[in-house]
């Protein structure tokens, strides 16, 4: 069985090979969108003590095969950019990354975990249901803040 070594993203690697590998993984996993700069998202996640990016490396290759961005507001945790390289799906890496995210949150005293998935993503819905997640009767609302047209990370 292939081993996955999970560590926090090296904040000293902004613009380096690991950042490039994360963005490439998100692209391959279909998570990037033209209106979101994934490199800016990496910087935002790494700039605050209440969030991080956990990366899962294939131990024998030092290749990033899976990741999860995780953060909290002091009460609820949230995960984003949960990804497994399509070539490595089916090896349990997604489950490992989610367990690592839960452990990271639990170590900070956080006892709830939220996530958002697109309504038409039946595969993701099934994956998270198998991990014990359930749909909530909520409406997710969003508003762009014009004053923050140029996001600043860190």
> Can you tell me the distance from the alpha carbon of 7 to that of 13, in angstroms, rounded to the nearest whole number?
13
The domain defined by 4-148 carries CATH number 1.20.120.160: no
What does the pLDDT profile of the chain (154 residues) look like in tens digits? 678 999 999 887 777 889 999 999 999 999 999 988 999 999 999 988 899 999 999 988 889 999 999 999 999 999 999 999 999 999 999 999 999 999 999 999 999 999 998 888 899 999 999 999 999 988 888 888 887 655 565 5
Q: What does 20-77 look like in DSSP terms, one character per residue?
A: HHHHHHHHHTT---TTS-HHHHHHHHHHSTTEEEEEEEETTTTEEEEEEEEEESSSEE
């Amino acid at each position: 069985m292939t081993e996955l070594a999970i560590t926090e993203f090296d904040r000293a690697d902004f613009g380096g090979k690991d950042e490039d590998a994360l963005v490439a993984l998100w692209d391959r996993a279909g998570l990037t969108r033209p209106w979101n700069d994934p490199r800016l998202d990496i910087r935002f996640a790494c700039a605050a003590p209440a969030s991080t990016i956990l990366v899962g490396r294939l131990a024998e290759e030092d290749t990033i095969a899976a990741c999860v961005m995780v953060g909290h507001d002091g009460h609820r945790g949230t995960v984003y950019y949960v990804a497994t390289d399509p070539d490595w799906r089916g090896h349990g890496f997604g489950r490992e990354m989610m367990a690592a995210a839960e452990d990271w949150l639990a170590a900070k005293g956080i006892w709830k975990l939220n996530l958002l998935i697109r309504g038409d993503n039946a595969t993701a819905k099934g994956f998270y249901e198998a991990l014990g997640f359930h749909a909530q009767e909520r409406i997710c609302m969003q508003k762009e803040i014009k004053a923050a047209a140029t996001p600043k990370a860190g």
